[in-house]
Amino acid sequence: MKFGRKYLSLHAAIVWFVCIVLILAFGVTGFLISEEVADQTRKDLSEKTLNVARMVGHSPIVIKGLQFKEEEDALQQFAEKIRELTNVRFIVVIDMQGIRKSHPDSWKIGEHFVGGDEKRALEGEEYISIAEGTLGNSLRAFEPIYSFEGEQIGAVSVGILLNKVNSVVKKSQRIIYVGIGLGIVVGIIGALFLANRVKRILFGLEPYEIAGILQERSAMIESVREGIVAVNQDREIVIANAEAVRMFEKAGIHGNPVGLTIEEYMPFSRLANVLVNGKKEFDQERNIEGVTFVVNRVPVKVDGQIVGAIATFRDKTELKHLAEQLTGVKLYAEALRVKSHEFMNKLHVILGMVHIGEYKKLTSYIHQLTENHQLEIDTISRFIKDPILAGFLLSKMSYAREQGVTLNVQGDSVLPEPNSPATMDEIITVIGNLIDNSIEAVQEFSNKNIDVLIDYDGEFLFFDVVDHKGGIPVEIRDEIFNKGFSTKGENRGYGLFLVRKTAKNLGGDIELFTNDEYTMFSVEIPYKSKEESA
């Protein structure tokens, strides 16, 4: 509800709405009832006066009083007694000439009836009339009077003053109005209670705030990379984001899950168990039609009671891909650490030569460093145009020197920048693992030379990593690419497995060539340059 250009608070809106409805409802109803009660009250008073008139008109005392003069006093006494008993304002008996034979004011007996509405009664008609007499405006009931022989001998008029009639009507209406007022007051109190109750249930939030939160929640649920499914206490799915639907369709489960029970849509799910036992389950693997998901399940509790459960799904393949990318980042970081360590060692050498005053040797040392460093940079940058790969190989050369190993990087063709940075991340993962394995392998041998040969034919990238430590035993050559296989102890054996898997994910492959003198890993990977993509 708006008021001007601003929104009314929910509390005020509920109170205003209920009050307006109550006032309109009670007002219209009260008016109709009041009019009906007023009409009925007038009818009841009219019927009452007419009944009194009938009773008086058929009384033998009245009939005799009209026929015999000596009975006129008895007629007056009888009329006054009936008036007092019935609480009417007047009872007036007249003869056929309209002369009063009874009246509340006895001195008016014998005078002509005032009002002009008695003629119909003298003609034998029974009716109700409103007219002004000596006592004021009154509601009058007229009844003809007949003798015992059936001849009309007069009429009787019984009246109630109009101000009394109106007073009775207003009293009846007043009761209705009081009831309406009490109803409105009770309704307002109820509206206030309802408004406060609704505000508490909604945690004091306004409708537009709730709408905003709902939109934000929907946007957040739809923006995450995880599939999200939520169920209520009845195990019905109430939330399923687009990513969840996409992932389940990939696993062969189709359709919109919202509204279905968890058993109908996902018979394999353990969300029903979470609803029962309330225990959280993290990083659980679940295979569906050949697709492996990593699932987290948690109960949803409100005031300590389980009201639902939520499950998040992630394709394990995507997580592995992310882990491989993180491995590449780790290799970057390690290479930078080595470069920094090598640089610090050289700074210490320079600082020591400055302290002892060997300036000529210092000049020669710096020239040597710069020439070697520039030679390495010129050699690498000559055939590798991607700055990330070039910097990575330079850092590996520094790391190898730190380990007492000579790393030779050569290339027969220019390798341009790739069309996708993600591709280079994968390539660095492969090269980095192979170089690290070779550096570690030659540590116990006298020949600590490692050769890295890089070539590019316009479609494929070829690189070979060769060490001269001797061959790999025949009995383990078929197992070195298996996950977890290692001759170096437990918790090892993932490097070559990751290299082979990454190469195959890129559409390439890796081969092993070995004999008694050397070991060479040869990798072939499809490679598109940035110029070709443009």
DSSP letters for 438-458:
HHHHGGGSS--EEEEEEEE-S
Burial of 91 (0-12, 13-18, 19+ CB in 10 A): buried
Residue 488's pLDDT band (cuts 50, 70, 90): low
> Alpha-carbon Rg of the chain, whole angstroms?
55
**3-class DSSP assignment, residue 225:** coil
pLDDT computed for residue 317 by the predictor: 65
Asked if the model's pLDDT at residue 500 lies above 80, the reply is yes
The answer to whether the CB of 113 falls within 8 A of the CB of 157 is yes
- Residues pairing with 228 in the sheet: 312
Asked if the model's pLDDT at residue 269 lies above 80, the reply is no
Task: Round to whole Å and give the CA distance between 357 and 429.
Answer: 45
Quote the crossing angle between the two packed helices 316-356 and 387-402, to the nearest 10°: 60
Q: What are phi and psi of 419, to 5 degrees?
A: -75, -20
Q: Classify strands 152-161 and 237-240 as parallel, antiparallel or unpaired.
A: unpaired
pLDDT computed for residue 359 by the predictor: 64
User: Smallest Cα–Cα separation from 98: which of 148, 159, 49, 145?
Assistant: 145
pLDDT computed for residue 491 by the predictor: 44
Asked if the model's pLDDT at residue 394 lies above 60, the reply is yes
Q: Which fold is adopted by the domain 1-223?
A: Beta-Lactamase (3.30.450)
Asked if the model's pLDDT at residue 94 lies above 80, the reply is yes
Asked if the model's pLDDT at residue 323 lies above 70, the reply is no
Q: How many CB atoms lie within 10 A of CB 528?
A: 15
**Looking at domain 226-315, what is its CATH homologous superfamily?**
PAS domain (3.30.450.20)
Angle, CA of 176, 177 and 181, to the nearest 5°: 120
pLDDT computed for residue 2 by the predictor: 45
CA distances in angstroms from 155 to 209, 259, 332, 502, listed in the order given: 80, 84, 126, 123
CATH 3.30.450.20-classified regions of the chain = 1-223, 226-315
Residues in the chain: 534
Q: Which of 76-85, 417-426, 459-468 has the lowest mean pLDDT?
A: 417-426
Residue 1's pLDDT band (cuts 50, 70, 90): very low
Asked if the model's pLDDT at residue 519 lies above 80, the reply is yes
pLDDT computed for residue 144 by the predictor: 92
H or E segment at 409? strand 406-411
Asked if the model's pLDDT at residue 327 lies above 70, the reply is no
Quote the crossing angle between the two packed helices 60-67 and 72-86, to the nearest 10°: 150
The answer to whether the CB of 252 falls within 8 A of the CB of 224 is no
pLDDT in tens, 275-295: 778 788 777 777 766 677 777
Task: Round to whole Å and give the CA distance between 74 and 65.
Answer: 7
Burial of 70 (0-12, 13-18, 19+ CB in 10 A): exposed
pLDDT computed for residue 414 by the predictor: 83
Sort residue 470 into left (φ over 0), alpha (ψ -120 to 50) or beta: left
The answer to whether the CB of 295 falls within 8 A of the CB of 285 is yes
Asked if the model's pLDDT at residue 454 lies above 70, the reply is yes
Max mean pLDDT range (78-82, 269-273, 471-475): 78-82
Give me the long-range contacts of 1-7 (CB less than 8 A, separation at least 24).
Answer: 7/206, 7/208
User: Smallest Cα–Cα separation from 199: which of 70, 32, 11?
Assistant: 11
- On the CB side of 27, how many CA atoms lie within 13 Å of its CA? 6
* pLDDT average, residue stretch 210-221: 71
Asked if the model's pLDDT at residue 300 lies above 70, the reply is yes
H or E segment at 29? helix 10-57
pLDDT computed for residue 5 by the predictor: 42
Q: Cα 66 to the chain's mean position, in Å?
A: 91
Helices (H), 226-315: 242-250, 262-265, 271-277
Max mean pLDDT range (21-30, 123-132, 493-502): 123-132
Contacts of 530 (CB under 8 A, 6+ apart): 416, 417, 418, 419
Higher pLDDT: 163 or 459? It is: 459
pLDDT computed for residue 3 by the predictor: 41
pLDDT in tens, 28-52: 776 777 677 767 777 877 888 888 8
CATH 3.30.565.10-classified regions of the chain = 358-533
443: tokens are 């540590």
pLDDT computed for residue 124 by the predictor: 87
Task: Round to whole Å and give the CA distance between 34 and 285.
Answer: 75
Task: Round to whole Å and give the CA distance between 128 and 117.
Answer: 10
pLDDT computed for residue 418 by the predictor: 84
User: Smallest Cα–Cα separation from 268: which of 252, 288, 243, 248?
Assistant: 288
User: Smallest Cα–Cα separation from 402: which of 345, 467, 332?
Assistant: 345
- How does the average pLDDT of the chain come out, rounded? 77
% of the chain exceeding 90 in pLDDT: 1
Residue 322's pLDDT band (cuts 50, 70, 90): low
Higher pLDDT: 349 or 425? It is: 425
Q: Is the pTM of this model over 0.75?
A: no
Asked if the model's pLDDT at residue 362 lies above 70, the reply is no
**3-class DSSP assignment, residue 23:** helix
The residue to which tokens 């009938």 are assigned: 54
Q: How many CB atoms lie within 10 A of CB 324?
A: 17
Higher pLDDT: 37 or 230? It is: 230
Q: Which of 309-318, 427-436, 488-497 has the lowest mean pLDDT?
A: 488-497
The answer to whether the CB of 14 falls within 8 A of the CB of 198 is yes
**Looking at domain 358-533, what is its CATH homologous superfamily?**
Histidine kinase-like ATPase, C-terminal domain (3.30.565.10)
Asked if the model's pLDDT at residue 191 lies above 70, the reply is yes
Angle, CA of 378, 420 and 497, to the nearest 5°: 85
